[in-house]
Amino acid sequence: MIHFLTQVGRYFIFLRKVFAKPEKHSIYYRQTMRELVYLGLYSAGIIAIIAFFMGAVITLQTAYNTQNPIYPKYLIGLGCRDSIILEFSSTVAALILAGKVGSNISSEIGTMRVTEQIDALEIMGVNSASYLILPKIIATLLFNPILTLIGIIVGIFGGWLAGTISGVITSENFIYGIQYAFIPYYIVYSLIKTLFFAFIITSISAFQGYYVDGGSLEVGRASTKAVVYSSVLILLFNVILTQLLLS
């Protein structure tokens, strides 16, 4: 318990260091642009692929589980839309990003720690936590909502394609379904969750990497911890945010 509280305290001290005033805004701006590409743009492909297949599977499973004629066919489109918007585009995508982006951040910063690159920054008088991590946090906060929107669009498209090609639903029914009883707030809810999850993934992973002590073995362990802790916190905050935002 004491170890847990120590780590929590350390995490908040770390965050204070991360959010300290930047040394030179132009350098931070350049770093943020770089991170937007590495952490954001380079994740768009995997999110699109997974969203496409998730949308397809949701449509097919909904179709096979609602074969009773009393259920209107357009419910398949509605089910696909709501599953994608409410859970896949934010939570499942965040879990995927915790694996991809989180382990990347943790191992990058951890390697910089064990090879004394972070010490080199500190010696120069650079706030290493802020210089290395703040641009990553800003980049993910800016880009992850875009990834969420990509996930929603591609996921629903995947559902439509799978549904129409397999013949379980007509294109008209699916399109009617995705328009039926649409609540725009669900998109806002999804984007709010995405922002929380983006912050969790980046800050927890960076924290694990920043305090690595040892060698390559510890970097690997930190990377694993980053993914595990981020995932658990994403699931926990998913419950809390859902209760707060949808109740």
Partner 1 sequence: MITVKNLSKSFNGKKVLDDISVTFEPGKTNLIIGMSGSGKTVLLKSIVGLHEIDSGEIWFEDTLFSELDFNDRKEIRTEIGMLFQGSALFDSMTVEQNVRFPLDMFTNKTPKEKNERVNFCLNRVNIVKVNKLFPAELSGGMKKRVAIARAIALNPKYLFCDEPNSGLDPITAILIDALIKELTEEYSMTTIVNTHDMNSVMEIGEKIIFISDGVKCWEGNKDEILHSDCSTLNDFVFANSLAKKLKAAK
- Near partner 1 by CB under 8 A: residue from 13, 37, 49, 120: 120
The distance of closest approach from Cβ of residue 16 to partner 1 in the complex, given in angstroms and rounded to an integer, is 11
The distance of closest approach from Cβ of residue 193 to partner 1 in the complex, given in angstroms and rounded to an integer, is 31
Q: Point out which span in 115-123, 158-166, 178-186, 187-195 binds partner 1 (CB under 8 A).
A: 115-123
Look up tokens 């002590």; give the residue: 213
The distance of closest approach from Cβ of residue 80 to partner 1 in the complex, given in angstroms and rounded to an integer, is 41
Q: Point out which span in 122-130, 141-149, 178-186, 237-245 binds partner 1 (CB under 8 A).
A: 122-130
110-142 as b/e, with b when 16 or more CB fall inside 10 Å?
bbbbbeeebeebeeeebbbbbbbbbbbbbbbbb
Q: Point out which span in 22-30, 40-48, 50-58, 63-71 binds partner 1 (CB under 8 A).
A: 22-30
3-class secondary structure per residue, 62-108 = HHHHCCCCCCCCHHHHHHHHHHHHHHHHHHHHHHHHHHHHHHHHHHH
Size of the site for partner 1 (CB under 8 A): 16
Q: Is 24 in the site for partner 1 (CB under 8 A)?
A: yes
Structure tokens belonging to residue 8: 């929590």
Q: Please, which of residues 127-146 interact with partner 1 by CB under 8 A?
A: 127
Alpha-carbon distances of 223 from 201, 208, 217, rounded to whole Å: 12, 7, 10
Binding site for partner 1 (CB under 8 A): 23-24, 27, 111-112, 115-117, 119-120, 122-127
